[in-house]
C-alpha cells in the first residue's frame, strides 16, 4: 500500500485517536461509517489475530505478494490466523504490471498462490507503483479490467485498489469493477467507492506499530456467501461454494447445480446438457437439480441419483412406472398399448403399473406379473375367470359361449363354475374345464340327465328309444319307481323303464304295461298272452290269448 506523509488532516485524526477511547483507535467521520477493516503485510510482523477480532475489526486484506518479492512471508500465517477468529479475509497483490498481458499474468499468479485457501473477501489489484504513472488512463483501465476478469472467472470477487489522485489520472469510467480508494481525509473524492482506506496510521490491538485502516460501505459478507445462492435481482442469480462463484457444474453435499460457464448465472428450469450427459431440471428459487420423483407443472418426472431425467419403464420402490419419452419423460397414467408387446394400465393416482386383479372404473381386469393385460380364460389363485376379449378385457359374468363350449361365470365374483350348479332355479352340470354338459352324465355314482339347453331334467324322460325316470333330485331311478303322479314304474339296472312285460320282484311277477306303468286290477293282453293282475299289480293268472277269428 502507498506510503503517505502526514497531513494536517491526519494530524487531526491522530489527535482524535488519542482522545477517544476505542479499541480500534483511529476514528473516522460519520461520512465513513461502515464495517471496519485493516490491510496488512510483512511490515506488521506477527499479529495476534484474536486481539484484532476483539477490537471490532471484521475484515482484512492480506498481501499475497508481488512479482518482485514473491509470496509475502507472513501471508499463510496471516490468513490462517484471521480466519481462525472469524475475520473475513481478502488479499491483494502489489502490481508492477505495465501492460494488459502483464496484468493477466499477475492475476494468474495470484490464483496460483491463493488456491490452497478459502479466500472469503475480495481479491484486490493494488495499482499505484511509480512505474505505472506514465501509462495512459485507457491502458490502466484495460489492465485493471483484465486482471479483475481473470480473478472473477475463477470465482473470486475482484476489485481495484489505488489512491485518489492516481485514480483520477489513470482510470476512466470504463472500469467495470469495485473500487478500493485510499484517501487520508475526512471524505473520499471518488464516487461509488466500495472500500475507503482512510488512514495509514491506525492502531489496533494485536498489531505492533501502524496499520492501514479501512471502512466498507459495501457489505461484502452479503455478496460473498460461503455456500449457496446470491440473488442480485433481474435474474442475476449466482451460486457460491467456499466463497467462490461457481461456473458450470457444481456438486455440494450430493446436490447438483449448474451455472453458465461464462457468466456464472445459475440455471433454473429444464436444461439439456450439450455435452450429452442428459436432461436435468433445476428447481426455480433454489436452483438445485431435481432427484427422484419430481412434480413439474402438474406432471411427474423421475431423475436418477445423478439428477438425469429417466424415461421408459422404471422399477421404483417395488413398483413399475412408465415415463413417456414422447412427453419429455412425464409420468404416464391410464391405458398404455404397445402393438409389439401388449396393453398395460398405469394407476391414475400414482402411476404405478397394475399387476394381478385390478378394478379400473367399475370393472375388473387382470394383468400378469409383467403388467400385461390378459384376455380370455385366466386362472387366478385356483379360480378361472373370463376377461372378455370383445370388451377391452373386462371381467365377464354370466353365460359365455364360444367355439369350445358353454360356460357360466358366477355373478357374485365371476369365477367360472364347475360341477352341479343352480342357475336361475335350474340345475346345470359343468365339467372340470367349466364346459356345460348335456345328456346322461354320471356324477358321484349317480346318473343325471341334462337337456339340450343344459338344464337338469326330472321325471319321465325319453332318451332315444328308451324311457327313463329321474327323481326330484335329478338322479336316474332303478328298480321300482314311484312316480310323482302316483304311477309305478320299474327301471332296470341301466335305468331303462320296463314296458310290456312282467318283472319278478320278491318272488312275485308284476306286470308293466306298454306305457311302462304297473298294471293294477286289470285283465289285459300283451302280445299273445292274456294277464290278470291284482290290486298290487301282481299277475294272478295268465293264459294264451284266444286266436283272432279269421277274416273272410
Answer yes or no: is pLDDT of 49 > 70.
Answer: yes
Residues 496, 476: Cα–Cα separation, whole Å:
9
For 498-552, the fitting CATH number among 3.40.640.10, 3.30.70.3270, 2.10.270.10, 2.60.120.620 is 2.10.270.10
**Over the chain, what is the mean pLDDT?**
94
- Bridge partners, 449 (sequence order): 440
pLDDT, position 41? 98
Residues 199, 352: Cα–Cα separation, whole Å:
70
Of 442, 443, 501, 490, nearest in space to 467 by CA: 490
Backbone angles phi, psi at 315, to 5 degrees: -95, 120
What CATH class has 375-435?
A: mainly beta
Of 432, 436, 485, nearest in space to 458 by CA: 485
Answer yes or no: is pLDDT of 154 > 60.
Answer: yes
Residues 310, 322: Cα–Cα separation, whole Å:
10
Residues 481, 491: Cα–Cα separation, whole Å:
7
pLDDT, position 546? 84
pLDDT, position 25? 39
Give 290's DSSP letter. P
3-class DSSP state of 325: helix
Its CATH architecture, for the domain 8-223, is Alpha-Beta Barrel (3.20)
Answer yes or no: is pLDDT of 13 > 50.
Answer: no
Cell numbers that stand for 140 in this block: 490502466
Backbone angles phi, psi at 321, to 5 degrees: -130, 160
pLDDT, position 547? 73
* Angle, CA of 386, 387 and 389, to the nearest 5°: 120
Residue 103 C-alpha from the chain's centroid: 50
Its CATH architecture, for the domain 228-334, is Ribbon (2.10)
Contact 358, 324 (CB under 8 A): no
3-class DSSP state of 485: coil
Of 396, 427, 430, 400, nearest in space to 413 by CA: 396
Residues 207, 45: Cα–Cα separation, whole Å:
8
**Kind plus residue range of the DSSP H or E element containing 427:** strand 426-430
Contact 328, 310 (CB under 8 A): no
Which residues, in sequence order, are CB contacts of 70 under 8 Å at separation 6+? none
pLDDT, position 527? 92
Confidence at 8, pLDDT banded by 50, 70, 90:
very low
Residues 519, 499: Cα–Cα separation, whole Å:
11
Answer yes or no: is pLDDT of 7 > 70.
Answer: no
Helix axes 100-114, 137-153, angle to 10 degrees: 30
Place of cell 409420468: 331
Q: Percent of the chain having pLDDT more than 90?
A: 92
Answer yes or no: is pLDDT of 44 > 70.
Answer: yes
Backbone angles phi, psi at 366, to 5 degrees: -135, 135
Residue 329: C-alpha distances to residues 258, 305, 347, 404, 541 (Å): 21, 16, 17, 45, 100
Answer yes or no: is pLDDT of 31 > 90.
Answer: no
Confidence at 15, pLDDT banded by 50, 70, 90:
very low
Which residues, in sequence order, are CB contacts of 232 under 8 Å at separation 6+? 238
pLDDT, position 505? 95
- Bridge partners, 62 (sequence order): 40, 91
Contact 178, 160 (CB under 8 A): yes
Contact 232, 226 (CB under 8 A): no
Answer yes or no: is pLDDT of 319 > 70.
Answer: yes
Mean pLDDT value across residues 78-94: 99
pLDDT, position 22? 35
The domain locations on the chain are: 8-223, 228-334, 375-435, 438-495, 498-552
Could you read off the pLDDT of 369-392 as tens digits, one per residue? 999 999 999 999 999 999 999 999
- Is the fold of 8-223 the same as that of 228-334? no
Could you read off the pLDDT of 387-413 as tens digits, one per residue? 999 999 999 999 999 999 999 999 999
Residues 504, 194: Cα–Cα separation, whole Å:
133
Mean pLDDT value across residues 486-496: 96
Confidence at 2, pLDDT banded by 50, 70, 90:
low
Q: Percent of the chain having pLDDT more than 70?
A: 93
Backbone angles phi, psi at 371, to 5 degrees: 80, 5
Confidence at 548, pLDDT banded by 50, 70, 90:
low
Residues 522, 288: Cα–Cα separation, whole Å:
109
Q: How many residues does the chain have?
A: 552
Sign of the Cα torsion 286, 292, 293, 297 reads positive
Burial of 339 (C-beta count, 10 Å sphere; 0-12/13-18/19+): exposed
Mean pLDDT value across residues 165-183: 99
Could you read off the pLDDT of 426-459 as tens digits, one per residue? 999 999 999 999 999 999 999 999 999 999 999 9
Contact 544, 526 (CB under 8 A): no
Assigned CATH for 438-495: 2.10.270.10
Confidence at 552, pLDDT banded by 50, 70, 90:
low
Amino acid at each position: 500500500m502507498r506510503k503517505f506523509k502526514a497531513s494536517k488532516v491526519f494530524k487531526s485524526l491522530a489527535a482524535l485517536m488519542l482522545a477517544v477511547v476505542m479499541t480500534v483507535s483511529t476514528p473516522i467521520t460519520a461520512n465513513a461509517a461502515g464495517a471496519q477493516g485493516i490491510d496488512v503485510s510483512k511490515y506488521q510482523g506477527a499479529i495476534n489475530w484474536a486481539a484484532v477480532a476483539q477490537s471490532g475489526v471484521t475484515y482484512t486484506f492480506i498481501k499475497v505478494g508481488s512479482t518482485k518479492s514473491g509470496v509475502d512471508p507472513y501471508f499463510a500465517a496471516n490468513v490462517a490466523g484471521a480466519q481462525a477468529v472469524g475475520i473475513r479475509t481478502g488479499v491483494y497483490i502489489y502490481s508492477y504490471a505495465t501492460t494488459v498481458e502483464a496484468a493477466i499474468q499477475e492475476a494468474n499468479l495470484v490464483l496460483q498462490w491463493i488456491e490452497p485457501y478459502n479466500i472469503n473477501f475480495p481479491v484486490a489489484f493494488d495499482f499505484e507503483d511509480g512505474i505505472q504513472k506514465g501509462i495512459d488512463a485507457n491502458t490502466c483501465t484495460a489492465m485493471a479490467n483484465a486482471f479483475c476478469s481473470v480473478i472473477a472467472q475463477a470465482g473470486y470477487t475482484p476489485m481495484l485498489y489505488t489512491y485518489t489522485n492516481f485514480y483520477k489520472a489513470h482510470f476512466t469510467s470504463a472500469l467495470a469493477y469495485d473500487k478500493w480508494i485510499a484517501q487520508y481525509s475526512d471524505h473520499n473524492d471518488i464516487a461509488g467507492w466500495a472500500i475507503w482506506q482512510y488512514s495509514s496510521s491506525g492502531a489496533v490491538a494485536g498489531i505492533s506499530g501502524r496499520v492501514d485502516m479501512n471502512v466498507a460501505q459495501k457489505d461484502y459478507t452479503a455478496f460473498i456467501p460461503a455456500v449457496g445462492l446470491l440473488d442480485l435481482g433481474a435474474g442475476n442469480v449466482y451460486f457460491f461454494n467456499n466463497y467462490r462463484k461457481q461456473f458450470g457444474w457444481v456438486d455440494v453435499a450430493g446436490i447438483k447445480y449448474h451455472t453458465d460457464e461464462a457468466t456464472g448465472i445459475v440455471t433454473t428450469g429444464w436444461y439439456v446438457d450439450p455435452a450429452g450427459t442428459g436432461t436435468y431440471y433445476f428447481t426455480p428459487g433454489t436452483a438445485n437439480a431435481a432427484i427422484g420423483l419430481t412434480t413439474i407443472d402438474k406432471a411427474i418426472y423421475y431423475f436418477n441419483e445423478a439428477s438425469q431425467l429417466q424415461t421408459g419403464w422404471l422399477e421404483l420402490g417395488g413398483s413399475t412406472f412408465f415415463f413417456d419419452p414422447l412427453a419429455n419423460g412425464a409420468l404416464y397414467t391410464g391405458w398404455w398399448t404397445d402393438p409389439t408387446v401388449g396393453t398395460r394400465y398405469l394407476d391414475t393416482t400414482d402411476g404405478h403399473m397394475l399387476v394381478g386383479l385390478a378394478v379400473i372404473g367399475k370393472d375388473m381386469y387382470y394383468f400378469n406379473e409383467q403388467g400385461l393385460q390378459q384376455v380370455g380364460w385366466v386362472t387366478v389363485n385356483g379360480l378361472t375367470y373370463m376377461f372378455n376379449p370383445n370388451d377391452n378385457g373386462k371381467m365377464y359374468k354370466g353365460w359365455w359361449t364360444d367355439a369350445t363350449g358353454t360356460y357360466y361365470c358366477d355373478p357374485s365374483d365371476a369365477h367360472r363354475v364347475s360341477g352341479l350348479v343352480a342357475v336361475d332355479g335350474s340345475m346345470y352340470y359343468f365339467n372340470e374345464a367349466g364346459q356345460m354338459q348335456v345328456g346322461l352324465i354320471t356324477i358321484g355314482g349317480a346318473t343325471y340327465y341334462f337337456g339340450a339347453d343344459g338344464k337338469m331334467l326330472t321325471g319321465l324322460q325319453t332318451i332315444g328309444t328308451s324311457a327313463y325316470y329321474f327323481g326330484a333330485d335329478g338322479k336316474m331311478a332303478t328298480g321300482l319307481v314311484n312316480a310323482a303322479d302316483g304311477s309305478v314304474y320299474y327301471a332296470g339296472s341301466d335305468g331303462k323303464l320296463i314296458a310290456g312285460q312282467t318283472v319278478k320282484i320278491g318272488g312275485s311277477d308284476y306286470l308293466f304295461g306298454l306305457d311302462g306303468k304297473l298294471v293294477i286290477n286289470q285283465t289285459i293282453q300283451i302280445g299273445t298272452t292274456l294277464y290278470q293282475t291284482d290290486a298290487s299289480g301282481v299277475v294272478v293268472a295268465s293264459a294264451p290269448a284266444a286266436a283272432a277269428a279269421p277274416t273272410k
